[in-house]
């Protein structure tokens, strides 16, 4: 962590200031703090030692736990029936298993974190989770309608390269089965980056596995934030992009997770009619992220399907990087983050 801080102080931040003061041409349209932070994250992502990158991501959990306390929110760790993860809610009463939990009015979101399947943990992006939960909980449903509450279950899955794909998918599948044994009546799926990639494959699994398709609790919607639909980086980066994950990093993560020859990595090779979608799908991406071109292609593929009764929403946020909702609220990122989180909350409220 010391080396990262030194890089930010001595290289990234001075470079961002210099570019602004001397009006140098730069791909970033964000403020100085955001630019320096994203530049530092990009530098970390270029590290060839994948396990070292994973350790850096793990070392930030204390920050996420501090953020949770600042928001006065609740969390509960789960280790049960081979399933591991963390519940997040505005109040402990909103977590299944608590004495005051009200199943009939609670929506549960099964969330899968990103990190190229090589890093990350359930606490990743906790501030975004809590903002989403609180925004959802305060939406008025109108006269005669019961207020809904939201709880997020963020699943922990085994990381590559020690655990190759599809170990991650199997852990998320097991979490879905486990949720079917809990007092849960309303379910949505969500994931960011590799987590969204996993959610897409989980939906395929639900569509092709009778025992899963017949479970009583099924997802009514899914949210895919900057889905990792192009692990091989076939589509390249935007013409003028500014992101915190390097092309080299995503290829390295892909090889570590899938090996050199794995068809499962290729979302864009799936035929339109072979996707299994819930009734409603919401896809987001940043206009400046390295996956933007591929995500647009993915959305176009989904829109070409012939299942007219299912809804697809796509929102692209100009100048934003990959999974921007997990970034701190810098001057130039605060409003897009708030807009996206509010859109997620309204989307889920309108689903039920």
- pLDDT value, residue 22: 42
Dig out the tokens for 239 from the structure: 């013409």
Number of H helices, E strands in the chain: 12, 8
- Closest C-alpha among 176, 120, 107, 119 to residue 146: 107
The span from the CA of 90 to the CA of 138, in Å, is: 11
- Closest C-alpha among 252, 262, 226 to residue 51: 252
In this predicted model, what pLDDT tens digit does every residue of 208-245 receive, in sequence order? 999 999 999 999 999 999 999 988 777 655 445 689 88
- pLDDT value, residue 246: 81
Dig out the tokens for 72 from the structure: 């006065």
Dig out the tokens for 177 from the structure: 């089965």
Question: Residue 261 CA to chain centroid, in angstroms?
Answer: 25
Dig out the tokens for 119 from the structure: 């890093």
| The pLDDT of residue 50 is above 70 | yes
Q: What is the mean pLDDT of the chain?
A: 88
Predicted TM-score (pTM) of this structure: 0.92
What sign does the CA torsion over 28, 32, 34, 36 have?
positive
Reply yes or no: is the peptide bond before residue 166 cis, omega within 30 of 0: yes
The span from the CA of 115 to the CA of 49, in Å, is: 14
- pLDDT value, residue 144: 67
- Closest C-alpha among 215, 128, 129 to residue 175: 215
Residue 155, strand partner residues: 85
| The pLDDT of residue 23 is above 50 | no
- pLDDT value, residue 261: 55
| The pLDDT of residue 352 is above 70 | yes
């Amino acid at each position: 962590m010391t080396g990262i801080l030194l890089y930010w102080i001595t290289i990234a931040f001075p470079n961002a200031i210099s570019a602004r003061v001397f009006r140098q041409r730069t791909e970033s349209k964000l403020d100085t703090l955001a630019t320096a932070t994203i530049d530092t994250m990009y530098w970390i992502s270029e590290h060839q030692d994948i396990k070292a990158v994973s350790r850096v991501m793990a070392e930030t959990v204390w920050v996420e736990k501090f953020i949770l306390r600042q928001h006065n929110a609740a969390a509960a760790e789960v280790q049960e029936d081979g399933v591991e993860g963390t519940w997040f809610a505005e109040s402990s009463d909103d977590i299944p298993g608590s004495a005051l939990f009200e199943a009939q009015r609670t929506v549960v979101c099964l969330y899968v974190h990103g990190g190229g399947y090589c890093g990350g943990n359930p606490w990743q992006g906790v501030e975004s989770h809590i903002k989403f939960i609180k925004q959802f909980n305060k939406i008025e449903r109108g006269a005669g309608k019961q207020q809904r509450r939201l709880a997020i279950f963020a699943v922990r899955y085994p990381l590559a390269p020690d655990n190759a794909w599809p170990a991650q998918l199997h852990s998320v599948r097991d979490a879905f089965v486990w949720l079917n044994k809990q007092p849960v009546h309303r379910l949505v799926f969500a994931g960011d980056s590799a987590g969204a990639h996993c959610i897409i494959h989980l939906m395929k699994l639900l569509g092709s596995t009778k025992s899963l398709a017949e479970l009583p609790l099924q997802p009514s919607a899914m949210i895919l934030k900057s889905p990792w639909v192009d692990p091989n980086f076939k589509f390249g980066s935007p013409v003028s992009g500014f992101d915190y994950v390097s092309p080299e990093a995503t290829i390295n993560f892909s090889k570590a997770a899938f090996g050199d020859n794995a068809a499962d990595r290729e979302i864009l090779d799936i035929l339109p009619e072979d996707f299994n979608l819930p009734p409603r799908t919401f896809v987001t991406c940043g206009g400046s992220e390295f996956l933007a071109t591929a995500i647009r292609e993915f959305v176009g593929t989904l829109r070409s399907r012939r299942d007219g009764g299912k809804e697809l929403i796509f929102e692209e946020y100009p100048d934003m990087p990959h999974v921007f909702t997990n970034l701190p609220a810098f001057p130039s990122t605060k409003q897009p983050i708030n807009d996206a989180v509010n859109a997620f909350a309204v989307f889920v409220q309108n689903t039920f």
